[in-house]
């Protein structure tokens, strides 16, 4: 079980990116959350088995067809007890 905080920069607000992230995380049965930040970036915390989280990271780096992902900064965190994945802001 791994958990990461991601900060995603680029054209990632107002293009359905959070909902793409939410859909992808739920498809892979991961937990966590996603939200927009005031500086135009998107923050994500994601948790699950390493293989599925790696697939998720690849999908985030690719983005949906409307987003342009310029940079993804990744920080490893300690796993926490949680259920589900949600858009929180």
Catalytic residues: 18, 36
d(C-alpha 40, C-alpha 10), whole Å: 8
Query: Phi, psi (5° rounding) for residue 86?
Result: -145, 155
d(C-alpha 1, C-alpha 65), whole Å: 30
Q: How many CA atoms does the CB half-sphere of 26 hold within 13 Å?
A: 11
């Amino acid at each position: 079980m791994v958990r990461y905080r991601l900060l995603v920069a680029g054209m990632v607000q107002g293009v359905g990116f959070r909902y793409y992230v939410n859909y992808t995380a739920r498809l892979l049965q991961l937990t966590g959350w996603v939200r927009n930040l005031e500086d135009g970036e998107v923050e994500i915390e994601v948790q699950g088995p390493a293989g599925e989280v790696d697939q998720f990271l690849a999908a985030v780096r690719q983005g949906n067809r409307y987003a342009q992902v310029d940079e993804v900064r990744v920080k490893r965190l300690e796993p926490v007890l949680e259920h589900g994945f949600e858009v929180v802001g």
